[in-house]
Amino acid sequence: MPNLIRVFKNRKRELIYLGVVVLVYFVQKFLSYKTGIYMEECRDANAHLMALNGCLPYADSGCWLYGPFAFCIYPLIFKIFGANLVVLRMSYIIIGSLVIPLVYFLARRLMVPLWAALAAFLSITLIDVPFYTYNHILATVAGLCALLFVIWFIERRATYNLFLAGIFVGITLLVKPFLMGLGTFSSIVFFLALLKFRKNLSSIRIKPKHIAAVVFGVVSMLMPFFIYFAIHGGLYKFLAHMTPVGPDRASGFYHYSYGPPLSQYWEAVITAAPYKLLFSPAQWRVILAESFDSLIRISPIIFPLGILLLNKFSRRCRSVSKDGRVYFLLFTIFSIFISAQTLFYLQHMSRSFTAQVPLLLVAYFLFLINNKKLYSRKDRFIRYAVGIATIVFIVFLTSLHFFRYPYSASKRYVAPLELERARGIKVTPAEKELYESLNTFLSEHSREDDPIAILGHCPTLSFLSQRHNIFNGETIIMELDYLARHAKDSPQDQEKLRKLEDRLINKLKTEKPKFILEPIMFAAEYAETRLNRYVARTYTLEKTLGPAEINIYMPGIVKIYRLKTYHEILIK
């Protein structure tokens, strides 16, 4: 294959190209910079504040999904630069931008420069665009660094590179073991397997000292955190935190990140829930959604490897050139993953991937421009096919943006109530009525972005009720009547809401909770109530919390796109 476009003939132009791509990423992130703080960001931010105050942060579903140490990196940044939203988001943008050059330098060692550039550009679309999910991006960067050190070991034969790779694998396991950690280990195994198939690498032999170097790197990263939390947080709390179903506590089942997580399935298995719950269509819909989510999230790590596999597989097709086949297959599989995840996902993926459409367009036109100069006439079919597929894909995602996938919201919350009963937890009539009322409200509002209200103070970050709390009763759940959404329709409801606000404000003044989590508006008409104004005024950049003297920076009104569990909302 001939030498590709001029821009990649020297390192200086390569760096200029990467700088432009990073700039595109920065612009994209800043466009969504002031879109509000989302539910996940509130949870993560408060977890960092808790860690600084010596509390054991709660990670949903236990360490097998998010890791018991998932919130240990950003507290260090807070200690150095201070705890505020600008520092948090800027650090996310800076760390996220590392994905682009890492993907490029990884891919550059495995393929021609043009495909490495395209891989780097598409890596932008594989980072969550409108949301600031800190653990995911940290795990992605750590996984890519681990792969880069493995490649340096192959090139330089230096064992210390494997030790450094093990350290970054340990970081990945700290923040995202089940998804990103699995992807990183799989990728490293694949790289080592390449040693047997590449002629110029077949001379490398994996010795016990190489495996020991990786293991020692992983252990050296994990042990300090393990010892710290085991001593500082208490061994009992630490072990309870690590188990998906710990004693005297609700597990991650009561904390939803993206709707009912896959842990709900395992929770049902462990507690011997009825088969109708395990094998219901709604349950497997959740499992499929989480599976597609896992594939998308580990894609930045295995992206160059996927191109290699597709390249090998596509040699059977003789009608087009090699790179044309690779691009077409890659684009098709990438589109299928995104489309399937958008359909199966239970939250806001349509908006997320609609925001990525311009990036797909630019990548496609980059392919067309280069294709005219580099590829044979046999690739004309590929150009037309990819162009048509791009248009159809954009129309599909755009339609989802305006017409959400009509999935009945009420079905999402039948399973939690049944599972509570299966676990032998008594459901009070008030809780049952609240479940049914909220499910009815959700089923009547198909749009996923309807703001739902819960005002809660919850140091365990999981909206657990007091009876499921293991943090010595520190959790204070402040009630918010679900009838508040009807307050504008009835004078009686308005009066009831006013009394409720007075009671909650007095509770805030007298009890002075250490943390206040996610002050959220219940409906659009509830956004300007006295209660939210009081919370915003009291707890936004004004309240000093805890021994670490950190300022909580959350605004008083935050949108949430999914109901959590509601048995903890007390109706009086």
The token pair that represents 7 in the structure block: 């821009």
Alpha-carbon span 151 to 194, nearest angstrom? 11
Alpha-carbon span 257 to 38, nearest angstrom? 11
Helices and strands of the chain, counted as H and E runs: 23, 2
What is the model's pLDDT at position 474?
25
What is the model's pLDDT at position 422?
35
Alpha-carbon span 380 to 359, nearest angstrom? 22
What is the model's pLDDT at position 81?
62
What is the model's pLDDT at position 88?
63
Q: H/E element holding 550?
A: strand 550-551
Closest CA to 174 of 214, 238, 226: 226
Closest CA to 457 of 438, 430, 479: 479
What is the model's pLDDT at position 230?
59
Q: H/E element holding 544?
A: strand 544-545
Task: Label residue 528 exposed, middle or buried (CB < 10 Å: 0-12, 13-18, 19+).
Answer: exposed
Beta carbons of 469 and 457 less than 8 angstroms apart: no
What is the model's pLDDT at position 207?
75
Q: H/E element holding 545?
A: strand 544-545
Phi, psi of 517 (to 5 degrees): -110, 125
Alpha-carbon span 452 to 364, nearest angstrom? 39
**R_g of the chain computed on alpha carbons:** 25
Phi, psi of 476 (to 5 degrees): -125, 115
What is the model's pLDDT at position 156?
77
DSSP assignment string, 356-399: THHHHHHHHHHHHHHHHHHS-GGGHHHHHHHHHHHHHHHHHHHH
Please give the share of the chain, as a percent, with pLDDT higher than 70: 15
Beta carbons of 522 and 451 less than 8 angstroms apart: yes
Alpha-carbon span 100 to 123, nearest angstrom? 6
What is the model's pLDDT at position 500?
55
Ranges of residues in the chain whose predicted pLDDT is under 70? 1-14, 17, 28-89, 106-136, 176-204, 206, 225-226, 228-572
Compute CA 90 distance to the chain's CA centroid, rounded to the nearest angstrom.
17
How is the chain split into domains, by residue range? Answer: 6-248, 450-551
Closest CA to 479 of 488, 490, 466, 468: 466
Here the contacts of 504-507 (C-beta below 8 Å, separation 24 or greater) are: 504/455, 504/478, 504/479, 504/480, 504/531, 505/530, 505/531, 505/534, 507/476, 507/478
What is the model's pLDDT at position 170?
82
What is the model's pLDDT at position 30?
66
Name 144's Cβ contacts closer than 8 Å, sequence gap at least 6: 98, 99, 102, 103, 106, 300, 301
Phi, psi of 551 (to 5 degrees): -95, 130
